Amino acid sequence: MKQVVQIFKKEFYAYFLSPIAYIVISIFLMVTGWFFFSTFFIYDLTSMRNYFSMMPIIFSFVAPAVTMRLFSEELNVGSYELLLTMPVSIRQVVLGKFLAGTIFMIVMLLPTISYPVTISFLGELDWGPVLGGYIGAFFLAGSYCAVGLFASSLTRNQIIAFIIGLAICFGLTMLSKILFFMPETLLGFLGYLGVDMHFANISKGIIDTRDLLYFVSVIFIGLYATHLSIEERC
């Protein structure tokens, strides 16, 4: 556990040592803020629903950008040789890096808490779905970070890592949107595989263990695949 914390600390601080953190956070806030508030007054609703419905698609760009360097850079510089010959297991390394990426994304979401606070002054705001939205966003960030981390462990090139991560996350996001092309028998199964249904449930404020189980499974599969891919290099 101590080692996980050390690796987490190192990776988390590394975001703020380079300009990546500031660039990603400001782009995220600008893009989501603009998309949300440009239609907010037209709808004339005191709700954050539209805001959270953007999250899957925005996160599928942001999460791979956040996680792309976590392993790729180590592979490129060769520093994973030093890392893996210290008394740490691959599991601890993967977990530390995963936490760094996920918590970075949570930090990125923190300034948006000012939105519901502002909105609550404008009218009656139902806080349930807002809380649900943040919980959903937390699980979503974790899932996409696990996928991005896996993409990063595949290659020493950060740009390729980003594109692979984006492709998988985007696929998970869009799966439920292209369901009408699919044969009827597969609908239920593919609908369950997509992120949308589960995220929509949580962000309505309905916290169902099936949806949580889905996100936890994605995180677990992503991290396990990362573990295998790093182990394979040894």
CB of 82 to another protein, least distance (A): 6
- Measure the CA–CA gap between 170 and 154, rounded to whole angstroms: 18
* Residue placing its CB nearer to another protein in the complex, 87 or 183: 87
Least distance from another protein to the Cβ atom of residue 102, Å: 20
Check: CB of residue 149 under 8 Å from CB of residue 222: yes
Residue 78 or 183: the one with the smaller Cβ distance to another protein is: 78
Residues at the interface with another protein (CB under 8 A): 2-3, 6-7, 9-10, 14, 17-18, 77-79, 81-82, 84-89, 234
Alpha helix segments (H runs only) across 44-157: 49-53, 55-77, 80-84, 90-109, 114-122, 127-154
Angstrom distances, CA of residue 90 to CA of 156, 174, 182, 233:
17, 32, 39, 11
Residue 58 CB, nearest approach to another protein (Å): 27
In terms of CB distance, is 82 or 206 closer to another protein? 82
Residue 89: CA atoms inside 13 Å, Cβ hemisphere, count? 7
Residue 90 or 149 having the CB closest to another protein: 90
- Structural tokens at position 140: 């979503």
Are 84 and 234 within 8 A, CB to CB?
yes
Cβ atoms of residues 158 and 72 within 8 Å: yes
Q: How far is the CB of 146 from another protein (least distance, A)?
A: 23
* In the complex, least distance from residue 88 CB atom to another protein, rounded to whole angstroms: 6
**Shorter beta-carbon distance to another protein: residue 6 or 157:** 6
